[in-house]
Chains A and B, each alone.
Chain A
């Protein structure tokens, strides 16, 4: 039970020219200076008080005679008003005030709402700034390495924390650019994410054989400086910066591996020529669409709906639900919750014939949208250089692009016109397999 009771002392203000803010400031200074915040913890003012009004200061654990002390202090510190020698309970002071009362604590913390999270879709790459400029900044490379090492030690986490750490490492200015980094790390085989992109987990370390050179392997999955050093002690290792410093260094190991490798009790899986294996196993485009996760019973009436028009999202007012059917074209949509205090966004592909809302990587869903609109896709292939060029606007779905990237362990680079992405160490067999799955025509250059 509380033995110290809070009661209030009324103070009559009949002199003009003193605002509640001024009075509070005076009392605050007096009480702080005289170390009385535990005895006089708060002040109540009438809302909208103007000429003549009462204010009430709280007094805890004291009797009426203490008001003499208070009076002396108030006079000394120039606190205006006439103290009325009464100790009133909170209910009683309400009747004295002409309006509603508001309380101001004399030793309170400033209230802050600290919950600021990005409500956007972690997969949405529609608004990321172009990071395809030539960046000759070796520091970026080191910071990407640090990012990978932190991811490997943490093992798993949330998208929000991933974005924050990218910011701390100065790899991005904001959350949206972190989405591109997220995708690139997945492409390189370091991370996987939950279906909604809200969580990530590190992948096991693996040795992946290059598609065009059987004696060269790249290290994917989790890596720390300690692990890389241990590799260097036993094998011939090169650290190749990603072109344009867009990701962690590619750890290239020269040698012949016939089995998994154990280094001081840590197991590294020998994964083989993953790029070709993946290309063989992946379904075709329709098959891939069939296995994409779908959102059940999505009620579109609670969302604001936009559709991707090839360059940006535009308002889509002709999408509707009638008699349990969605009425609208197949395409890439961005849905934003209309509820107050909930502005979550999600980007989905609407598969009109099958009445399904599908979730996946943004480029992949965009690819589906273009496909449903009848676009003919093409790539260029240079068999002498083992390089394939894919139009930036026709970026492949992540799983298929991963097969290209894992052929060399290197991210693609833009050509000088910023229209094509170039992937290296891509064998003819690999590009043929993948192009067939995606219904893409190949032009030899």
Chain B
């Protein structure tokens, strides 16, 4: 049996692994996640251990004595600085996941239902209902959520747990906001995917964006699922898309869906790849490579890709991505590769696509490399690589002043690159497109972007060096927005909280090392958030390059001052 502390650490690491800096974290704990986490304790995929029970036992052993709940101390942290409250919060989210078919607009009933489920998770009697002893003080658990949120921000991620807007929902909204897809939702989605694939409406090898757009055009009976899929909040949009996509990539197409048990099998998992574009300035060639995305909750272990008998190791590039494979590919995609090294992950797929939206490297925007790291931000250039059949549509978008670009470049007879693209208008709703898929991909979903440019940034350490902060500009379609800028160590005393003009650099005070947060509000709603870390020079640590460049001088190689003499065959035997 794993201890509370072991579960605590494992859960925290599970939900942040593979997430790039600046990503929003959802503590979306359900039974499948607990089974996945538990299996890692023993490095096995043995399904016979009920890790859900193991988890609940661990939480009960730490947090329940008799009929009373004892919350983890707010000031408690594990030796590696993970707050000790994570496992308890996970138990709350598990309770939220168990609220199947209990959708109601009546918040008092919702609250009662939640605490009934929580009592069940904590092994307490659910006859009385309502908050159990130890949690009677309304909102007593909020501090723990805030500790979790601060830990996320301090490590470069963004939090998603927040209180509700009404009296009854204020505190239960924290766990409810974390429960994305419930078990029943996942089953509904899997049935729908299977049905659509079998009827030829959908392919087995779609990518995230395609699935995201497709699912938003479907109708669902469940109110919870409907509301979730149509969520317009920019913070939840991508998380929901990723959760839906995870269901899709977990489907084992060669096995029947086990409808009778009502439980989804977590079987085969597929990795998807994006396109990685590099340009050889000398030759003028443009090349595209396979850029594998790390599976969500990927923790470690050597994965290999096999192609034409050659084995390629998958090595980490950055959080969420492996280094591109040395396999030039056509942008048409539609290729799959065998993956070895993991019982669950079987294949890597480069989806078949008619266009790709590629952005400059967020870690090094001047590198000349473009890939699908994220959606284009407002005010930033991106590259659209598409089949020539989209040219007319692009011209129409330009004529309607929705998008502009610098020049187009024919890659070959079928594909063209639109370089220096920028979305310039928010008013896409009135346009009837010829190609809905391109329209959906380009239409902006965000109202503002917090642009941080210049200064001296340390890649992979998520911050800028003291004395050389970035230039800050809020890019938005509105002329002004409300900006809140705060030091996360003093969140109640914002450094700035005022109306500012958009689309020009703003002046911020000199910053000492720490973690800061920008929040932009447009028309009263949160429109953008971004963490800014200022790093101390004295705290810099040496990192190892992933791609060193030793000089080959024939009989030896040289790397700085380190000489490696290459032994000949005769010398090797000596």
Which A positions have Cβ atoms within 8 angstroms of B?
Answer: 2, 4-7, 32, 37-38, 41-42, 58, 60-61, 90, 101-105, 107-115, 117, 119, 146, 149-150, 152-158, 160-161, 164-165, 168-169, 189-194, 196, 198-206, 208, 220-227, 229, 266, 269, 271, 274, 277-278, 281-283, 287-288, 290-291, 295, 302, 337, 339, 341-342, 344, 346, 399, 406
Interface residues on B, range: 35 or more
Q: Known contacts A202-B542, A221-B561; can you find 16 more A-B pairs with CB under 8 A? A: A7-B430, A38-B426, A60-B427, A90-B400, A103-B400, A107-B427, A107-B477, A115-B420, A150-B465, A158-B364, A194-B549, A200-B549, A201-B545, A226-B540, A344-B284, A399-B551
Contacts of A42 in B (CB 8 A): 400-401, 425, 427
Question: Majority SS of interface residues in chain B?
Answer: loop
Some 16 contacts from A to B, beta carbons below 8 A apart, are A6-B430, A103-B401, A105-B424, A108-B425, A112-B379, A115-B420, A153-B541, A157-B367, A158-B366, A199-B547, A203-B548, A281-B553, A282-B553, A288-B553, A290-B554, A399-B553
- The reply to whether A165 and B458 form a contact with Cβ atoms under 8 Å apart is no
Distance of B279 from chain A, by nearest CB (Å): 9
Distance of B81 from chain A, by nearest CB (Å): 19
A192-B550, A221-B561, A399-B553 known; A202-B540 Cβ under 8 A: no
The stretch that binds A, out of B61-69, B96-104, B306-314, B404-412, is B404-412
- The reply to whether B554 and A295 form a contact with Cβ atoms under 8 Å apart is no
Contacts of B560 in A (CB 8 A): 189-192, 203-204, 206, 220-221
A201-B547, A201-B549, A291-B552 known; A278-B563 Cβ under 8 A: yes
Question: Majority SS of interface residues in chain A?
Answer: mixed
- The reply to whether A156 and B553 form a contact with Cβ atoms under 8 Å apart is no
- The reply to whether A281 and B556 form a contact with Cβ atoms under 8 Å apart is yes
- The reply to whether B422 and A226 form a contact with Cβ atoms under 8 Å apart is no
Contacts of A269 in B (CB 8 A): 562
Contacts of A192 in B (CB 8 A): 548-551, 558-560
Q: How far is the CA of A343 from the CA of B380 in the complex (A)?
A: 23
- The reply to whether A154 and B459 form a contact with Cβ atoms under 8 Å apart is yes
Judged by a CB distance under 8 angstroms, whether B525 is at the interface is no
Judged by a CB distance under 8 angstroms, whether B539 is at the interface is yes
Binary flags per residue of B558-570, CB closer than 8 Å to A gives 1, else 0:
1111110100000
Q: How far is the CA of A37 from the CA of B549 in the complex (A)?
A: 54
- The reply to whether B427 and A168 form a contact with Cβ atoms under 8 Å apart is no
Q: How far is the CA of A194 from the CA of B282 in the complex (A)?
A: 14
Contacts of B13 in A (CB 8 A): none
A206-B561, A281-B565 known; A2-B430 Cβ under 8 A: yes
Q: How far is the CA of A271 from the CA of B400 in the complex (A)?
A: 64
Judged by a CB distance under 8 angstroms, whether B111 is at the interface is no
Q: How far is the CA of A96 from the CA of B446 in the complex (A)?
A: 35
Closest residue to A275 on the B side, CB-wise? B561
Closest residue to B479 on the A side, CB-wise? A32
A169-B456, A269-B562 known; A155-B425 Cβ under 8 A: no
Contacts of A90 in B (CB 8 A): 400
Contacts of A208 in B (CB 8 A): 561
Contact of A283 among B406, B468, B478, B554 (CB under 8 A): B554
Distance of B507 from chain A, by nearest CB (Å): 18
Interface positions of B from 423 to 460, Cβ below 8 Å from A: 423-427, 429-432, 454-456, 458-460
Q: How far is the CA of A185 from the CA of B231 in the complex (A)?
A: 52
Which B positions have Cβ atoms within 8 angstroms of A?
Answer: 281-282, 284, 364, 366-368, 378-381, 399-402, 404, 406-407, 409, 419-420, 422-427, 429-432, 454-456, 458-461, 465, 468, 475, 477-479, 503, 537-556, 558-563, 565
A152-B540, A278-B558 known; A161-B431 Cβ under 8 A: no
A42-B400, A160-B366, A226-B539 known; A346-B282 Cβ under 8 A: yes
Distance of A338 from chain B, by nearest CB (Å): 10
A119-B281, A277-B563 known; A224-B551 Cβ under 8 A: no
Distance of A376 from chain B, by nearest CB (Å): 26
A104-B401, A203-B562 known; A161-B364 Cβ under 8 A: yes
- The reply to whether A154 and B561 form a contact with Cβ atoms under 8 Å apart is no
Closest residue to A288 on the B side, CB-wise? B553
Distance of B357 from chain A, by nearest CB (Å): 16
Q: How far is the CA of A281 from the CA of B429 in the complex (A)?
A: 69
Q: How far is the CA of A278 from the CA of B564 in the complex (A)?
A: 11
Contacts of B379 in A (CB 8 A): 109, 112
- The reply to whether B422 and A109 form a contact with Cβ atoms under 8 Å apart is yes
- The reply to whether B364 and A168 form a contact with Cβ atoms under 8 Å apart is no
Q: How far is the CA of A239 from the CA of B406 in the complex (A)?
A: 49
Q: How far is the CA of A227 from the CA of B542 in the complex (A)?
A: 8
Contact of A149 among B364, B404, B454, B537 (CB under 8 A): B537
Contacts of A169 in B (CB 8 A): 456, 468
Q: How far is the CA of A169 from the CA of B381 in the complex (A)?
A: 26
Q: How far is the CA of A191 from the CA of B551 in the complex (A)?
A: 11
- The reply to whether A226 and B364 form a contact with Cβ atoms under 8 Å apart is no
A117-B368, A341-B409 known; A2-B282 Cβ under 8 A: no
Contact of A153 among B367, B402, B458 (CB under 8 A): B458
Closest residue to B368 on the A side, CB-wise? A117
- The reply to whether A150 and B561 form a contact with Cβ atoms under 8 Å apart is no
A274-B561, A278-B558 known; A160-B552 Cβ under 8 A: no
Contacts of A344 in B (CB 8 A): 281-282, 284
Q: Which 10 interchain pairs have the tightest Cβ spacing? A: A6-B430, A203-B560, A41-B427, A344-B281, A160-B366, A201-B545, A156-B545, A189-B560, A155-B543, A103-B401
Contact of B284 among A165, A274, A339 (CB under 8 A): A339
Q: How far is the CA of A175 from the CA of B41 in the complex (A)?
A: 52
- The reply to whether B427 and A105 form a contact with Cβ atoms under 8 Å apart is yes
Contacts of B422 in A (CB 8 A): 109, 111-112
Contacts of A282 in B (CB 8 A): 553
- The reply to whether A103 and B563 form a contact with Cβ atoms under 8 Å apart is no
- The reply to whether A115 and B545 form a contact with Cβ atoms under 8 Å apart is no
- The reply to whether B424 and A109 form a contact with Cβ atoms under 8 Å apart is yes
- The reply to whether B552 and A154 form a contact with Cβ atoms under 8 Å apart is no
Distance of B160 from chain A, by nearest CB (Å): 28
